[in-house]
Structure 1
Amino acid sequence: MGVLKNMKKKLILATLGLFSVMTLAACSSSSDETIATMKGNKITVSDFYAEAKLTSANQQLARNMIIYQAFEDKYGDKVSQKQVDKQYNQTAKQYGDSFESQLESAGYTKDSYKKAIKQQLAMEAGLKAHVKLTDADYKAAWESFHPEVEAQIIQVASEDEAKEVKTEASKDGADFAKIAKEKSTDSTTKEDGGKVTFDSTSTTIPAEVQAAAWKLKDGEISDPIAVTNSSTYTQSYYIIKMVKTSSKGNDMNKYKKTLKTIATNTKINDSTFSTKVIGEVLKDQNVKIVDKSFSNILSTFIDAAETKTSSSSTSSTSSSATTSSTSETSESSSDTTSSSK
């Protein structure tokens, strides 16, 4: 489940660096190209590949490369260049001045990294293409949904600083915006006094901060909120002041478009659903493993797809059995099996 989620997360440059291991042989003019020499011996690209392909990390990497390529081949036309450029620019902004050096150290050019982004977006498009939402899905999304609110935030590096900010901001007549400009480490909000607007689908505000916000009334200030960065594993602390909260009321149809997004994302992040879809796409694209060293890397997905087909066949056979004789049922079962193959 963890690996599956990682494949759908934003591409992280440190992880992408592993691609150089698997592509070295393909990019070389010959698999016997020499990497290093020594007295009476040498190490070639084929020697390196023979060792590298057996490691767990590279087995997983090969699996991801195959899956991404299969999805790009089938759903790449659903991804626009505008989408690719947008995600590329967001990642570049995230890494700042070090972005180009990070790309280079990962063995990527601007174009090859954009290709990787396109594959990721194609996979998301493929997963979404298989989503069929029910009333129950919409109701579940409604339960977790909170409409947009207006607030102010201050981010600091330590819990002690956060406590000091809370004390200062809670004083009569305190100017929260001024404190944010002076003390917040969030460069994207501090100059505007920490002003933010967000709902429960927002990705710019940490989930922990959102959860605290939903409990606040207008004018209330939260206690320090600890947030761990999932990329760097560093911890920071937030203080949030609610400016204008809102209630979703009872009319679910008012937010139908937003609820569809929530329900869809919930579905594609479900490991059972995603595993089956990936397996179906791999089968549809007729993916075959040639190198026996990688013979089992796709088995989880293929098995899931075959289980779904088997279940459908059983259902069809059972339905036939209720209206047919024993001999007709047997014939129907045979036909269903042949059809599923």
Structure 2
Amino acid sequence: MITVLAILSLLFLLSACSALTSGEGSKVLVKTEYGNITKDDLYKEVISSDRGKELIQKMVYMQILEGKYEVSDKEVNQRLDLIKEEAGDKDGYKMYLEKQGFKNENELKNQIKQSIYFFKATTDGVKVTDKQINDYYEQNKDQYIEVKASHILVDKEETAKEIEKELKNGADFAEMAKKQSTDKVSGAEGGDLGYISGSDEMDSTFLAAALKLKKDEVSEPIKTKFGYHIIKVTDRKETPLSKVKNQIKETLLGKDAKPLQEILNKINKEIEVKGDAFKDAFKDVEIQQRQDIPQL
């Protein structure tokens, strides 16, 4: 049984009470010419605020979860690496930290660790087989394919077919893009669009056609709302299942995760609250739809 009183003592928030009962009075924390702030003042402020309630909830829940589950540095670092990869370079990662309100990387790692604890609690007992992982990978293959694509965009199908014929007869794709493409931005670069993948937000018809092409293969004219495209893939990268197996497993586990309120209500039954200060902090809540893992 976890007691809230024990948790509070770690923060010295109850030292004021023990001092008062021993006749020593409440210890002064800050002195000013207009008055002092004591530990007793601090304690009263904490227990009367919503932030104090949130603080004690976080401390108690995390102590219980840390006793039930294990989270390794490897697990934390794997998620951290994914964040860094998505952020891009050092400047992008720095901007991410600032935008999310983290003072440094250690704060981010602490949040990641807490999120993993809650994820393990909400997915405890959920089973995912290798077949489920393999099936998900095959069904979502486009997410794991990246191609370096170029295109020539024109308004009329007839024009696109003429360009297609010239390319088959040996015309240079980049030169044709510079001369014929109505997309002047990519056209100036020989039609180059850079690397694209299934997760990019772009025309679905164009994306599907590009991802099917092999390296150095040129498509037939592809119609989209922008006109007619002739696409060429100059490089193709496919992420193997071995590299994304753990990510897919977490995705599948998350689909069958228990509602967060259910987990918290179960934890609440393991808590013994001493005194009235936080008696309302661990009341059971109504179970609604599944929520994302809390970012504590």
Q: TM-score scaled to structure 2, two decimals?
A: 0.48
Q: Which has the higher contact order (CA 8 A, sep 6+)?
A: 2
- Higher relative strand content: 2
- Higher relative helix content: 1
